Every structure is written in C-alpha cells, then in structure tokens.
Amino acid sequence: MERLKLGILISGRGSNMRALVEACRRGAIPADINLVLSNRADAGGLNVAKAAGLPTQVIAHRDYPDRPLFDAAIDGALRAADVNFVCLAGFMRLLSEGFIEGWYNRMINIHPSLLPAFPGLDTHRRALEAGVRFAGCTVHYVRFATDTGPIIAQAAVPVMPGDTEESLAERVLAAEHRLYPLALRLVGEGRVKIEGERALVDGKPAAAAALLNPAD
C-alpha cells in the first residue's frame, strides 16, 4: 500500500490533529503530513501545526459564494500538496457530495459519540439527556450523510453520575486522542478493508474494538 500523505482539516483548537502529528513523529503511524488546512484563520490548531514545522493553509469559507466552490478550493489545495488521504479533525463544515466522492474511502473523520448514536452537533448534551451509561468516540470513513460511514474503531467511556457536557466531553476527548492515531495506524498499515459498508480490521469485524480499547 502507498505510504499515506495526509491532509488534516481543522476548524479549531486541533487537539486531535496534535495527537496525529505526535504519533506520526514518533513513527507510530506510517504517514507523512503534507498539509494542515483550516477554514478559519483563528484556529488554534494552526499554531500547533506551525510549531511542529508543518505546512499550513487557510481557506476561509466566507471567501466563497457557495459550498461547492469552497470545497473545490480545498480539493485543489490538497491535491497541490500531493495529499492522498484526508483526516477530518474537528472540521466544522459540511462537505459537498462532489468533494466526498473525490476522496471516497480516502477520507476519515472522528466523531465524539458511539455512532450511529448522536451524530451531528451537541453530541454530549444529547447523550446526557438520553441517559446513556456509555459514551465514546468513533473513527469512520466519510460518506454523504453527516457522521455516517464504515466504522474503523470505537472507544467507549463511562458516563459518571453528575457529569456535565464539559466533563463528559473531556473524558471522551482523552479517548479520541488515543483512538484516532490507532485507527489511522491501522489504515496506514493496510489492515483496514471495506466490505459492503463495513470496515474490517485484519479481516475481522470485531477486531477493532478489542484492538483499540484505549485502556490497553
């Protein structure tokens, strides 16, 4: 399998991006990071990427009249940077079908819930309102509907009595920082195959959960 040349898309603080950068640096993920791209000039993650000596670029969605044109600009920047795999890491723009098609099975996302539960925004609030006992995070290939697609890996964390949105988000985020590098490593090592709409790890549907328990 071709070595991964990553484009990481962010909109904010970029803590998941930082986890990916650090894992690539210590050789835990067989990948190079060719570009960190943000749709917001004030994204804190840009400073993290710059400090790590990575190429960064800002493409502001407000500068484009519509989503397809904005997405075309992102696509162009990724291809100009010779990116062959995209990681969404807190990228807060919906992507058009054309863009998703162009990166089909070459783009993954992390979402802070145990999908298919609680896709979209306000995940933690909705999880608390639903009274679930376990929350968590999911790394998945990107499909047309928001926060859907073959699941590569999930990590579960308990919901504790007295949890607030903030305390739950913090517990899930710590799991995200372990899960995303692990999931990307599996992809980079060529161990993830998509069959139907399920992602198999080492040929087995259940392997991901066992392999990627963040407590390991």
**Alpha-carbon distance 106 to 2, whole Å?**
12
Given the complex with ligand GRF, which of 81 and 174 has the nearer CB atom?
174
Is there binding between residue 40 and ligand GRF (CB under 6 A)? no
In a 3-state reduction of DSSP, which class is residue 61?
helix
Tell me which DSSP letter residue 62 carries: G
Tell me which DSSP letter residue 96 carries: -
Q: Do 8 and 17 meet the contact criterion of CB atoms below 8 Å apart?
A: yes
In a 3-state reduction of DSSP, which class is residue 136?
strand
Binding segment for ligand GRF (CB under 6 A), chosen from 12-20, 46-54, 181-189, 207-215, is 12-20
**Closest separation in Å from C-beta 173 to ligand GRF:** 6
- Name which position in 48, 176, 185, 187 contacts ligand GRF (CB under 6 A): 176
Known active-site residue 140: no
Binding segment for ligand GRF (CB under 6 A), chosen from 7-15, 30-38, 71-79, 128-136, is 7-15
Helices (H), the chain: 15-25, 44-51, 67-80, 97-102, 123-130, 165-188, 207-211
In a 3-state reduction of DSSP, which class is residue 131?
coil
Q: Exactly one of 61, 111, 124, 140 is catalytic; which is it?
A: 111
- Name which position in 24, 89, 135, 184 contacts ligand GRF (CB under 6 A): 89
Is there binding between residue 201 and ligand GRF (CB under 6 A)? no
**Alpha-carbon distance 61 to 79, whole Å?**
18
Binding segment for ligand GRF (CB under 6 A), chosen from 27-35, 70-78, 94-102, 107-115, is 107-115
Residues near ligand GRF (CB under 6 A): 10, 12-16, 45, 89-90, 110-112, 173, 176
